[in-house]
Amino acid sequence: MNLKIQHFVIFLTIFGLISCTKQPQKLSQISGKRLPIASSLKVDDSIDAFIAPYRNRLNSVLDSTLAIAAHNISKTDGAYNSSAGNLMADIVYAEANPIFKMRTGHTIDFVFLNFGGIRAPISVGKVTTRTAFEVMPFDNSIVVVKLDGKTVIKLVDYLIESKKAHPISGIQIALDATNRPSKINIQGKPFEEGKDYFVATSDYLLEGGDNMVFFKEAKEQTNIDYYVRNAMIDNFKKVDTLSPVVDDRFYKMN
Amino acid sequence: MKRRTFIAKTTSSAAFLGLGGLQVDAGSSKSRKHLTILHTNDVHSHIDPFPTVHQEYPNMGGLAKRASLVANIRKENPNTLLFDAGDIFQGTPYFNFYGGELEFKLMSMLRYDASTIGNHDFDNGIDGLLAQMPHAKFEFLSANYDFSDTVMNGHVKPYKIFWVEGLKIGVYGLGIALDGLVLPKLSKETRYSDPYEIATDCEYELKIRQACDLVICLSHLGYSYTDQKRPDDLGLAARTKYTQLIIGGHTHTFLEKPTIVKNGIGNDILVNQVGCYGIYLGRIDFYFEDVDKVGTDVARISIS
């Protein structure tokens, strides 16, 4: 645009402002963008000082090293099962089964949790109580329900239809080319429709979370009064290294 | 009159071609008003920045840094409103240890103006939410959650009108269906209604009856679902007539820039959502001018 036109526009703008001061107003222009809260931003000292006592108390509880993650652990590294899901479900089995057995004399057949319940990945390196809070911030308790074989089929159908790598342990499902289960093993033995199974899950899912309506058909339920997060913390204290991998507990056959 | 039209066209085309200096001159005059809307969503108790070794968001976020950014923007334009689209609670031990007290206190210190209520804000039950209300010096807006049979009765409004430099800004809130997301023992007698219908009522009230200059929705419905039966922000945009900005949440959708969509009467409006965990702050600037300088009914939208 040349200079003449610019001057013309300036004149017209001033003219416009003088002539229109009492007019009602209307939206003329909108602009939008997102601003990163980047590390380069200055810390507001008064806010930081306000947070400090809360932060210090938390850190003293949360930041001692319990175990080491051998690699990054994520819930999205596999289509049908994931390293983070396998870790969580295997921990629930390992930590809850002895308690359940002591209380009832029965053993857990398999674990079924929800993909959405894993709230953060675990980064390679030190694993702390804080890690467990990040992965599982919810105060959800482990419950064990007794399901008949028909309800277990509904659970498996839910799992297949959800197309999500919901955490499972103790059950193995192989899908055929049409996404139907061609093999279901529970504790290494073929699934029997006439049999009842003890399934460990969370109270959130049992009470209707994630629309897992099949849990409403539970014949019995035992709340073992143990948070999923606390099971993780207790397990991290026992092991030195976490190295869960995507495996063949749920997969599609070629 | 012909000259008027010509003037309006010329000024707007000049501004469109990027003569920034001209826009600033015009903005300093009373006839041009500038409103800045800042927003967050799904902060989920992320008070501190992510650690340096975090695999997704190293060193990003943090309330103390958000505070300095917001303060700078307020310094640049005092006509600024700050909103949150829900799920303030749950996600770090700050929530497990302190129940949301610190989140509300800090948002009050940052001078948040309003928030809507997300499904996770029920995580300590409706009693747990009520317990933190004394720490919140900002409004809770939810038009489609009815709390009248709960302890939260009187603590949540469907909408609020904010007066900013003579402009009337109507803001209403919408929450997601509770079934399957929030256990009944937590939400108790909270009643959910269809957000699309309620939104239509709210925007009519704010734009037509109350003659607001701008109508904004704080939504925790989620950005977009493949299941057409689930209400979402894009569906809301297509069904409303007067809502000009939908600030969304729930789906943790990281929009690089606001989405421009057609509303129910074919006008362009904005839907925005800035992911989660306080990693980004959304910023939308609205400029108002005298009616006869605007030229057309539809505002020019530029996105960066």
Q: For position B150, which CATH number holds?
A: 3.60.21.10
Nearest Cβ partner of A130 from B44, B93, B105? Answer: B93
- Residue B296's pLDDT band, with cuts at 50, 70 and 90, is low
3-state per-residue secondary structure call for chain B: CHHHHHHHHHHHHHHHCCCHHHHHHHHCCCCCEEEEEEEECCCCCCCCCCCCCCCCCCCCCCHHHHHHHHHHHHHHCCCEEEEECCCCCCCCHHHHHHCCHHHHHHHHHCCCCEECCCHHHHCCHHHHHHHHHHHCCCEEECCCEECCCCCCCCCCECEEEEEECCEEEEEEEECCCCCCCCCHHHHCCCEECCHHHHHHHHHHHHHHHCCCCEEEEEECCCCCCCCCCCCCHHHHHHHCCCCCEEECCCCCCECCCCEEEECCCCCEEEEECECCCCCEEEEEEEEEEEHHHHCCCCCEEEEC
Residue carrying the six token digits 């899950």: A201
For residue B86, the enclosing domain spans: 56-284
From residue B190, how far is each of A150, B143, B172 by CA, in Å?
34, 12, 18
Picking from A137-146, B34-43, B169-178, which range would have the lowest pLDDT averaged per residue?
A137-146
Domain membership of residue B118 (yes or no) is yes
Sheet with A196-202: list strands edge to edge: A168-169, A110-112, A196-202, A141-148, A220-227
Would an 8 Å CB–CB cutoff place A180 in contact with chain B? no
Environment class of B148 (CB within 10 Å of its CB; exposed 0-12, middle 13-18, buried 19+): exposed
Per CB-CB distance under 8 Å, the chain A contacts of B110 are 47
In three-state secondary structure terms, A180 is: coil
Q: How confident is the model at residue B53 (pLDDT cuts 50, 70, 90)?
A: confident
Work out the number of other CB atoms within 10 angstroms of the CB of residue A37: 28
Q: Is residue B131 situated within a structural domain?
A: yes
Residue B116 · residue B141 · CB < 8 Å: yes
Measured distance CA(A236)–CA(A56) in Å, rounded: 23
Is the pLDDT confidence value at B298 over 90?
no
Asked if residue B30 has pLDDT above 80, the reply is no
Residue A247 CA to residue A189 CA, distance in Å, equals 18
Residue at B77 is within a domain = yes
What is the structure's pLDDT at A24?
67
**Cα A245 from chain centre:** 17
Cβ–Cβ below 8 Å for A29 and B299: yes
* Tokens read off for A191: 């699934």
What domains are defined for chain A? 62-252 (3.90.780.10)
Instruction: Give the ipTM.
Output: 0.87
Compare CB distances from B180 to A15, A133, A210 and report the shortest one's residue.
Answer: A210
> Would strands A171-175 and A181-186 be described as parallel, antiparallel, or unpaired?
antiparallel
In 10 A of CB A24, how many CB atoms?
10
Least CB–CB distance from B282: residue in A34, A48, A54: A34
* B68:A44 CB<8 A: yes
User: Rounded to a whole number, what is the distance in Å from the CA of A188 to chain B's nearest CA?
Assistant: 32
Amino acid, single-letter form, for residue A84: A
Residue B68 lies in a domain: yes
Minimum-distance CB partner of B49 among A13, A35, A39: A39
d(CA B107, CA B136): 7
Chain B residue whose CA is closest to A27: B288
Q: What is the pLDDT of residue A135?
A: 96
CA distances from B216 to B120, B204, B243, B296 (A): 22, 12, 6, 21
Disruptive mutation site among A5, A7, A27, A210 for chain B (greatest number of B CBs within 10 Å): A27
Give me the pLDDT at residue B301, please. 83
Whether residue B123 is contained in a domain is answered as: yes
Cβ within 8 Å of residue B255, ≥6 positions away: A34, B223, B272, B273, B274, B275
Amino acid sitting at position B289: E
Write out residues 97-156 of B within 8 Å (CB-CB) of A. 97-98, 102, 105-106, 109-110, 123
Could you tell me the end-to-end alpha-carbon distance of chain B, in angstroms, rounded to an integer?
35
Comparing C-alpha atoms, which of A86, A92, A103, A75 is closest to residue A140?
A: A92
Is the pLDDT score of B230 beyond 50? yes
In total, chain B counts a number of residues equal to 304
Grade residue B7 by pLDDT with cuts at 50, 70 and 90. very low
Report residue B294's pLDDT band, with 50, 70 and 90 as the boundaries: low
Instruction: Kindly list the distances between the CA atom of residue A88 and the CA atoms of A74, A100, A120, B95, B119, in Å, as whole numbers in the listed order.
Output: 11, 17, 12, 22, 24
Among B92, B181, B207, the residue to mutate for chain A (most A Cβ within 10 A) = B92
**What are the angstrom distances between the C-alpha of B290 and each of A20, A27, B170?**
7, 9, 20
Test mutation, B65, B98, B243, B253, chain A, max A CBs within 10 A: B65
Residues in Cβ contact with A14 at an 8 Å cutoff, skipping those fewer than 6 apart: none
A231 contact partners, CB below 8 Å, separation of at least 6: A91, A92, A95, A96, A142
pLDDT bin (cut points 50, 70, 90) of residue B302 is confident
Rounded to a whole number of angstroms, the distance from the CA of B293 to the nearest CA of chain A is 7
Q: Does any domain span residue B40?
A: no
Out of A20-24, B6-10, B174-178, give the one with best mean pLDDT: B174-178
Q: Which of the residues B176, B272, B277, B290 would you substitute to probe the A interface, choosing the one with the greatest number of A C-beta atoms within 10 Å?
A: B290
Determine, for residues A27 and B272 on separate chains, whether the beta-carbon distance falls below 8 Å: no
Q: How many CB pairs under 8 A join A and B?
A: 230
Q: Using alpha carbons, select from B158, B155, B41 the residue that is nearest to residue B88.
A: B41
Flag whether pLDDT at B213 surpasses 70: yes
Q: Report pLDDT for A6.
A: 45
User: CB contact, 8 Å: A241 with chain B?
Assistant: no
Q: How many residues does chain A have?
A: 254
Chain B residue with minimal CA distance to A21? B31
Q: How confident is the model at residue B82 (pLDDT cuts 50, 70, 90)?
A: very high
Flag if A55 and B293 touch (Cβ within 8 Å): no
Structure tokens at B132: 């933190």
Average pLDDT along chain A, 254 residues, taken 10 residues at a time: 43 40 72 96 98 94 93 97 98 98 97 96 96 91 97 97 96 96 97 98 93 95 94 97 98 90
Of A21, A31, A42, the CB nearest to B302: A31
| pLDDT band at residue B11 using 50, 70 and 90 as cut-offs | very low
Question: Is the CB of residue B185 less than 8 Å away from at least one CB of chain A?
Answer: yes
DSSP state of A120: S
pLDDT tens-digit profile of B245-263?
999 999 999 999 999 999 9
Nearest CB to B93; choose among A24, A133, A211 = A133
Name the A residues in 68-127 with CB < 8 Å from any B CB: 72, 119, 121, 123-125
Q: Note whether A24 contacts B: Cβ–Cβ < 8 A.
A: yes
Domain count, chain B: 1
For residue A49, the surrounding DSSP H or E stretch is helix A45-62
Residue B198 in any domain: the answer is yes
At how many degrees (to 10) do helices A45-62 and B63-76 cross?
A: 170
According to the model, what pLDDT value does residue A208 have? Answer: 86
